Structure 1
Amino acid sequence: MLRFERRKRLIRVLGRHQEDRRAWGRTEARSRKRKRHWSPLKAIALLGQHIQRVRLVGNDQSEKIRMTLVQAGYRSREAFIIYLALKLLLPIFGAVIALTIILSSEGLGENLLYSFVGVAGTALILSYLPDLLLRKITESRRQKLRKGLPDALDLLVVCAEAGLGLDAALKKAAEDFVKTNPVTADELALLNAELVFYQSREEALANFSKRINIPLATSVVLTLTQAERYGTPLSKALRTLAAEFRRERLTAAEQKAGRLPAIMTLPLVAFILPALFIVILGPAILSALNLMP
C-alpha cells in the first residue's frame, strides 16, 4: 500500500515536472519567434549601425546631431542610428520613385534634362525632410517648455518655502506636471535624477540647460548654480527669478496687444469695409438707378 502511494505521488510529481517543461518550452519558442520577428524599424536601425561604422559623419557633426535629437526628446542611441538611416534611405527611395514615374510617363522620359532635374530635386528635398521634421518637433517641444517652466518655477518656490530641498521640490513639480505638461515634467524628472546620480550638481544643471536650450532655462540654471555655490537660500533665489519671469510674461503680453491693431488692419480692409460700403451705399445706388429714365 505504501509503495502504491509512493508510486502515485512520484507519477504526480513527474507529471507536474513534464508540464512545467512543456510550458517553459512554449515560452522559449515564443521568445525566439519574437526575436526573429523583423520590423521596418529594426531594419532601419541595422542599416544605421552599418552607416555609423562607415563614419559618413564626423565626430563633431555626430555630437551636434545627437544634441539636436536630445533637444527634440529622442535620447536613445537608436534615435541617432535611425536618423542616419533615414537621411540615406529617403533620397534613394524618392529618386527611385521619381525615376519610375518619369519612365512610365509618355514624353517625359525622352527629355533627359527635365528627367534629371526631377530625380535630383526629389532626392534633394527628401534629404532635407528629416532635418525639417526634427526642427519642427524641437520648436514645438521648446514652446511647451516656455509655457510650462514659469508655472513649474512658481511651484518650486512654494515647495522651497515649505521646507523642501531642491531634489524633493523637483520631484514634486514633476509629479504635478505629468498631466498638464508632460514635456516639462519629463525634463524636471530627468534633472532630479541627474542631480542624484551625478557627482557634480553643476554638471547636471548644465546638461539641463543644454537639453532645453532656451534663455529661461539658462536663467534658472545660473540662479540654482549660484545658490548652490554661495549658500543663498533657495526660496529667496527662486522667488526673485519667478518675479522676473512674471514681468517678462507681462511684457510679452503687452507687446502682443500692441501689435494687435496692425494685425487687424488687413482683415478689416479686406472683409469688413467692403460689406460696410455695400450696406451704406447699396440703397442709395439702387434708388438712383430707379430714378434714371
Structure 2
Amino acid sequence: MTMLLILGLLLVLLAIYLVSMASRTAQHESASVARALAALEAMGGAPRELTAELDRPFKERVLDPLQRRALAIGRTFTGADSSERIRHKLDLAGSPVGWTVDRVVALKVVGLVVGPVIAAAVAFLVLDLSLTTRIVVVGAGAVLGFFAVNFYLYQKGYDRQKQLQKDLPDAIDLLTISVESGLAFDAAVQQVSRNTEGPLSDEFSRALREMQIGSGRSDALRGMADRTNLPEFRGFIGSLVQADAFGIPIAQVLRVQSSEMRVKRRQRAEEKAQQVPVKMTIPLIFCILPCLFIAVLGPAAINIMDNFG
C-alpha cells in the first residue's frame, strides 16, 4: 500500500513537471514568433532605400556586376578592332538571341578563369601526372577556356553557312517564279520569307524589314551579303545590286541565277560522290579488310598449324 502511494506521488510530480515544461516551451515559441513578427514589421516599415537591395533579383545583384567586371578586364586584353571582328562573327552565326559583343568579351574572361580551375582539378585530383604535365594541362585549360566562345561562334557560323548553301537554290527558284508571275521584287521576297524556313528565310525577312523602314534596296541586299561568307550567296546578291543599279529586269537576272545555282548544286553533288571512294579507303584498310582476312584465311591458317604440329 505504501509503495502504491509513493508511486502515485511520483507520477503526480512527473505530470506537474511535464506540464510546466510544456508551458515554458509554448511561452518560448510565442516569444520567438513575436520577435520574428517584429522583425518583419521593422523590415516592412524600413525605408525603400534599405530594402531595395534585397528586393533586386540575383541576376542584377551578382551576375550583372560580375559581367561588367569581366568586360572591363576583357577590353584590356583585346585589340581595338576586336568589337568589329566579334560583331562579324555574331552576324555569321545568325546573331543568337541574347548574344552581344560585350557578352562575348565577358565570357572569354570567365572562360580564362574557369578553364584552368577545371583543368587543375582534373590534373591534380583525377589524373596521376607529373608536375610538368599538370602545368601544361592547366595552361591548355586556360587557352581552351579563353577561346571556347570563339569555337562556339565558329561552329554556329559554319552550320549556318551550310544551311544557307543548301536552301539557296530552292529559294531562288521560288523567287524567280514569284517575279515571273507578276509580283514585285519586295512581294516576291516576302513570299520566300513566308514559305521557307531556316537562316535564309530570316535573312530575307530582315532585308524586307530594312526596306520597309526606309533603307534602300541595294543597302539592304549588301547587308545580307555582309552577314555571310558564302561565295554563291555573295555572287547572287551582287547580281541583284547591279541589276537594280543599271535598270536590268530582275526576272531575267533571277532566271540566269536560278539556272547557275542548279548547275552548282549538281557539281557539288558530283564532287561529294567523287570523294566517297577516297574517304572509304582508311576504314576499308584498317577495319574491313582485317576482318575479311581473319574470316577467310583464319581456318586455313589453323589447319596448316595443326598439320605441321
* Fold shared, TM-score > 0.5 on shorter chain: yes
Does residue 149 (structure 1) correspond to residue 168 (structure 2)? The answer is yes
Alpha-carbon separation, structure 2, partners of 1:158 and 1:78: 37
Alpha-carbon separation, structure 1, partners of 2:189 and 2:168: 12
Alpha-carbon separation, structure 1, partners of 2:172 and 2:233: 10
2:217 is aligned to 201
The amino acid that maps onto 1:251 is Q
Deviates more, 1:155-164 or 1:192-201: 192-201
1:188-218 Cα offsets, whole Å, 9 max, x none, are 1011112222443221111100102211111
Alpha-carbon separation, structure 2, partners of 1:168 and 1:39: 44
The amino acid that maps onto 1:219 is G
Q: Provide the identity percentage.
A: 31
1:158 is aligned to 177
Matched-pair contact (CA < 8 Å) for 2:175–2:192: yes
1:11 is aligned to none
1:161-202 Cα offsets, whole Å, 9 max, x none, are 111111111111111113xxx222111101111222244322
The amino acid that maps onto 2:109 is L
1:273-292, aligned counterparts within 5 Å? 273-278=289-294, 280-281=296-297, 284-285=300-301
Q: 1:188 to 1:46 in 2, by over 3 A?
A: farther
1:212 is aligned to 228
- 1:176 aligned to 179, 195, 219, which one? 195
Q: 1:97 to 1:206 in 2, by over 3 A?
A: same
1:1-293, aligned counterparts within 5 Å? 36-39=56-59, 44=63, 46-49=65-68, 55-56=75-76, 57-74=78-95, 79-98=100-119, 116-178=135-197, 182-278=198-294, 280-281=296-297, 284-285=300-301
The amino acid that maps onto 1:39 is K
Q: CA RMSD in A?
A: 3.4
Alpha-carbon separation, structure 2, partners of 1:66 and 1:134: 11
1:4 is aligned to none
1:49-98 Cα offsets, whole Å, 9 max, x none, are 45556743444221111111121122678521211111111111233445
Alpha-carbon separation, structure 1, partners of 2:146 and 2:255: 47
Alpha-carbon separation, structure 2, partners of 1:147 and 1:226: 24
Alpha-carbon separation, structure 1, partners of 2:72 and 2:254: 46
Q: 1:93 to 1:289 in 2, by over 3 A?
A: closer
Which protein has the larger Cα radius of gyration, Structure 1 or Structure 2?
2
Alpha-carbon separation, structure 1, partners of 2:116 and 2:291: 51
Which residues of structure 1 form unaligned runs of 5+? 1-31
The amino acid that maps onto 2:110 is L
How far apart are 1:289 and its partner, in Å?
A: 6.1
The amino acid that maps onto 2:202 is D
How far apart are 1:44 and its partner, in Å?
A: 5.0
Alpha-carbon separation, structure 1, partners of 2:119 and 2:304: 62
